[in-house]
Amino acid sequence: MIAVADTSPINYLVLIDKAELLARLYTSVILPGAVLKELRSPRTPALVRRWISRRASWLQVRLLQNELDPTLAYLGAGERETIALAHELNANEVLLDEAAARREAQRRNLRFIGTLGLLRRASQLGWIDLAACLRSLGQTTFRARPDLIASLLAEDAALK
C-alpha cells in the first residue's frame, strides 16, 4: 500500500515518536519535493529536521512528472504537490491534515487520512495507546476540536 504524505502528518507523528506507524501501515510513504523542503525548513522543529535527515528506507522522495494543476494554487506548496503526486502515482492514500487540502482530495476522488485517523487506525490494530498518543499530540502545536478528540476517545474506550 502506497501513501503520499503532506508535511503535517509526518511532523506530528515524529514529534510524538510514532512515525514508525507509517512503515507498519504502508509499503512505502512518498514525499513530494515541496514536503521534503518544508520538513527541512529552519521553522520546522529540530527533532523533525533530524529525523528527516536520516530518512528511513520506507520513506521516498519523488518529484512531480507533470506540471501542477493551476486550480491547486490556493493551497500551500506541500498540499499542492502532495495531491498532484498522489494523483500521478494513483496512491492508495493521501496523508493530509489541512481542511482545504482534504476537500480538494475528496473532489479528486483521492482517499485521504490525517494524523488523527492514522492514530485511530493504529489503535484499532492494537499498536498504540490512543489516549496516551492524543495527550502527547496535545503537547504540540496540533489543534483539533475538543469534541472530535472526545469522540475518538469514546470510540476507543468502547472497543476495549
Interior CA angle at 139 toward 137 and 143, to 5°? 60
User: What digits encode the pLDDT tens for the residues 31-41?
Assistant: 999 999 999 99
Same domain as 152, residue 106: no
Q: Provide the whole-model pTM.
A: 0.94
pLDDT at 44: 97
Helices 33-40 and 77-89 pack at an angle, to 10 degrees, of 140
Same-domain status, 102 and 140: no
User: Are residues 28 and 65 both part of a single domain?
Assistant: yes
Mean pLDDT of the region 37-63: 95
Q: What is the pLDDT of residues 73-123, one digit of tens each?
A: 999 999 999 999 999 999 999 999 999 999 999 999 999 999 999 999 999
Amino acid type, 53 = S
Same-domain pairing of 95 and 143: no
Say what the pLDDT of residue 160 is: 72
Local confidence band at 66 (pLDDT 50, 70, 90 cut-offs) = confident
* Among candidate residues 77, 16, 24, the one with its CA nearest the CA of residue 51: 16
Helix, strand, or coil (residue 122): helix
Average pLDDT score over the chain: 96
